[in-house]
Amino acid sequence: MVLTGARQVGKTTLLRHAEPFASWRYHSLDLFDVRAQAQEAPASLWADHREVILDEVQHVPEVLSAVKQAVDEDRSRRFILSGSANLSLLSRVSESLAGRAVYLVLHPMTLGELHGNLPGGLLGNALAGRLPAEGQAAQDAPDLVPALLRGFMPALLPLSTRLAVTQWWQGYVATYLERDLRQLSQIENLLDFRRLMELAALRSGQILNQSELARDAAISQATAHRYLDLLEASHLFERLPAYTASRTSRLVKSPKAAWSDPGLAVFLSGYYDEQSLRQADRFGCYVELLIYHHARVLAGLLVPPARLYYWRTRSGVEVDFVVEHGRNVLAMEVKSAERVGYGDGSGLRRFLADHPRATGGLLLYGGTEVRRLGDRVVAVPWSLLTG
């Protein structure tokens, strides 16, 4: 099994303390001595053990050949390889472990996890055509601003002040630039890379125009593309693809910009307090990013995992998210308002007209009631998704 995820997302804690992995032989390739052993005598790391964890394996990618040989010689031997780099994007890993590994991603936490709640069934039920019935769904409309400013990394949980959270994100970005990034690739100018991160964060939820991004960052388009690839390989940034299946509409096909943790995007965008974030012109985009994070986590719990897209016509009609699971397709729109009306579901209705086999449309908003907004379109408090 290959477990990847952003730095500080909790991979090591999970592998060292959660069952059944707590009893496995654990090696961290973050340690120079273990790293040297992995380079010179890798088989000695698992000589007397059948269940082995190799953490931070991106430091010594050549150990993968030895892992492949060990698995080929004894299929009962079990390995967990973990790291902060998206190993499925690294060619050496793909070549060495083709057909031998299951890839899993550990995402930042959700609001439901923070509240101690189990994942709800909204996404799976809606994909199956079981849309929620009208009625009161929540007592209070949740305020997402504190969660957006804090983010969802486990290490943020004990921090009690806004200053401490800001300083944590400041250190997180600095460590990524000065340590993790240099281990992935040679970057000529870290200031250019930091500037691109900030500009990409300001484009959260927007269609990603790579030429425009490169121009604003004062770098070449090829360099911008490489930097985005590195952010994606580090599980910090994602390109949300367009849903291009259509019978009648001409569609936009460029991806949208998304970040693995909404708190990182908010920090990089320069919002450090509640007042400035609430007044932000693109506040709705950060709410959309938070909903994307939760939808992505819940989609990953389905078997096989559901896929997320967005949908936009050339004329500007848009649906924030399209969830595809096998032959089932669900459209979702996000509104930051506490009240919504029939007109807010127009994009969903247009999508359903273009995709009559879709199971329905959900309009996720900041209210407390489930409301019907037309045939197969339901307004749902986002708390039913986030937990």
Q: pLDDT per residue over 261-307, tens digit each?
A: 999 999 999 999 999 999 999 999 999 999 999 999 999 999 999 99
Helix (H, G, I), strand (E, B) or coil at 381: strand
Q: Cα(59)–Cα(82) distance, rounded to whole angstroms?
A: 11
Cis before residue 304, ω within 30 degrees of 0?
A: yes
Instruction: Give me the mean pLDDT over the 356-370 stretch.
Output: 96
Instruction: Provide the percentage of residues in the chain whose pLDDT is more than 90.
Output: 79
Instruction: Give me the mean pLDDT over the 382-386 stretch.
Output: 93
In the chain, DSSP finds a helix count (H) and a strand count (E) of: 17, 14
Label residue 248 by pLDDT band (50, 70, 90). Answer: low
The upper half-sphere exposure of residue 208, i.e. CA atoms within 13 Å in the direction of its Cβ, equals 25
Instruction: Extract the tokens encoding 222.
Output: 């090829």
Q: What is the 3-state secondary structure (H, E, C) of 180-230?
A: HHHHHCCCCCHHHHHHHHHHHHHCECCECCHHHHHHHHCCCHHHHHHHHHH
Instruction: Give me the mean pLDDT over the 358-376 stretch.
Output: 95
Cis before residue 305, ω within 30 degrees of 0?
A: no
Residue 354: which residues within 8 A CB-CB, separation 6 or more? 246, 247, 248, 249
Domain boundaries, the chain: 2-105, 111-386
The pLDDT tens digits of the residues spanning 207-218 come to: 999 999 999 999
Label residue 381 by pLDDT band (50, 70, 90). Answer: very high
218 touches 192 (CB < 8 A) = yes
pLDDT score, position 91: 61
> Which top CATH class is 2-105?
alpha beta
The pLDDT tens digits of the residues spanning 122-171 come to: 999 999 999 999 998 876 778 999 999 999 999 999 999 999 999 999 99
Q: What are phi and psi of 363, to 5 degrees?
A: -105, 105
Instruction: Give me the mean pLDDT over the 319-339 stretch.
Output: 97
pLDDT score, position 93: 66
Q: What is the mean pLDDT of the chain?
A: 92
Instruction: Give me the mean pLDDT over the 78-101 stretch.
Output: 75
Label residue 247 by pLDDT band (50, 70, 90). Answer: low
Q: Which residues pair with 331 in a beta bridge?
A: 322, 361
pTM: 0.93
Instruction: Please tell me the least confidently modeled range out of 102-106, 190-194, 358-362.
Output: 102-106
204 touches 257 (CB < 8 A) = yes
pLDDT score, position 82: 93
Q: Is the pLDDT of residue 330 over 70?
A: yes
pLDDT score, position 21: 92
Q: Is the pLDDT of residue 89 over 60?
A: no
Instruction: Give me the mean pLDDT over the 169-197 stretch.
Output: 90
Best CA proximity match to 364, nearest among 343, 340, 342? 340
Best CA proximity match to 329, nearest among 301, 362, 303? 362
- Type of residue at 314: R
What DSSP string describes 226-258? HHHHHHHHTTSEEEE-B----SS--B--SPEEE
Instruction: Give me the mean pLDDT over the 184-195 stretch.
Output: 89
